[in-house]
Amino acid sequence: MNKDARDASNVVLLRGAALALLMALVLAWCLVGLNFGLPAIHSLFPGKFTRLLQAHLDFLLMSSLLFGFYAAKVSLPWSVRWAMVIGAFTNSSLFLLQAMFPLLDTPEPADGVFPAAFRLFMLASILVTSYGFGKGAVFVLRSTLSDQA
């Protein structure tokens, strides 16, 4: 691995991307298990098949975004890097939780502590993810403008 100082600070993006990709692969096999009707997998994911598929695709998307930001070789502040990685996992896990707990996947919010905690988790995830990827995009965009000056 390249040990360039600019890359070293962003290594958390590379690690997060690799872990998100591995999670996507695990979920792909879970989708295969659901398709074959394996009872153990169905009991783990009693919710909608589409929610598990969304989680799988979101982990793939997030790993691609993290790999892309790492490949851009633009130095990012630690708060942005960590927000991107944490947001990538929390955002994707929202679909995963809905696949595991169908109570969370209703048009009308269910009452109770668990659904309320899920809504709070969802809001926190959206805020962290938006901050990380939004601020990262601004840093990358600014780096392209300063190179042309």
Higher pLDDT, 39 or 107: 39
pLDDT digits (tens, 9 = 90+) for 11-40: 999 999 999 999 999 999 999 999 999 999
The predicted pLDDT at position 111 comes to 80
Task: Specify the number of domains making up the chain.
Answer: 1
Range of the domain at 86: 5-148
CATH of the domain at 123: 1.20.120
pTM of the model: 0.89
Neighbours of 52 (CB within 10 A): 23
Choice among 57-61, 92-96, 111-115, 128-132 with the minimum mean pLDDT: 111-115
Query: Helix 49-71 crosses helix 113-148 at what angle (to 10 degrees)?
Result: 30
The whole-angstrom separation of Cα 38 and Cα 126 is: 33
